[in-house]
A and B are shown apart, each in its own frame.
Chain A
């Protein structure tokens, strides 16, 4: 199996580019309220960064670096989205009613925080979990259907 593969250029490039992709993923997640982007494309880009890591290093090393079961990520995303909808019952308003407010954060100053971002976080985690579950399930398949 090991043909003396030396992917030095691919690994070094991946080390740099994965950070850029993850930064773009987080940026499009946070800017989804006022600009193109949001949880879906952010989650897909995060999954793309992790897929690039898997392409460069293989399953074993990345499973040791990122010991995350993506089915749990999927379930956590769905749970966050569901609890965001249920949270509106605490204030006696209909299901999935969202609100926002202005807060003074230490470094950011006057920031508008909306509960729709929590729902978006659920979408982000769900998309990330679904994509990585699909890709890793296919990658871990032996393909031996003969026996």
Chain B
């Protein structure tokens, strides 16, 4: 791996970590619960990017499963949080 490419990956990692820090600010001081839910969802997406960049840095393809896994878990968790905020119950008893 050439050195300028490593520098680009490092800069991208730093930018992603700064983004996660700003999102942590939103999670801690967010006015409402929905703000925190959206911030946590976006932190998950930033984690996907960080995992991909780390897998480039480590020159391995073994982290690709982790990327898909974080995406799926973030989606399920966001749906669960949204449903809890909307109705207060996650799994409905019998709807029809």
Q: A residues near B, CB below 8 A?
A: 1-3, 5, 10, 17, 21, 24, 28, 35-37, 41, 45, 48, 51-52, 54-61, 135-136, 139
A1, A52, A135, A139: the one contacting B79 at CB < 8 Å is A52
Known: A28-B65, A36-B62, A139-B90. A5 touches B95 (CB 8 A): yes
A60 nearest CB neighbor, chain B only? B94
Contacts A55-B80, A60-B96 given; indicate if A48 touches B72 (C-beta within 8 A).
Answer: yes
Q: Determine which residue in B66, B73, B80, B92 has the highest number of CB atoms from chain A within 10 A of its CB, and name it.
A: B92
Q: How many A-B residue pairs have CB under 8 A?
A: 59
Provide the B66-95 mask, 1 if CB < 8 A to any CB of A, else 0.
101100110110011001000100111111
Contact A48 to B76, CB < 8 A, known contacts A36-B65, A41-B69: yes
The DSSP consensus for interface residues of chain B is helix
Chain B residues closer than 8 Å to A2, beta-carbon distance: 95
* Chain B: minimal CB distance from A25 (Å): 10
Q: List chain B positions with a Cβ less than 8 A from chain A.
A: 62, 65-66, 68-69, 72-73, 75-76, 79-80, 83, 87, 90-96
> Which B residues touch A61, using CB under 8 A?
95-96
Given known contacts A1-B93, A37-B65, what 7 new A-B pairs fall within 8 Å (CB)? A17-B75, A36-B66, A45-B69, A48-B72, A51-B76, A59-B91, A60-B93
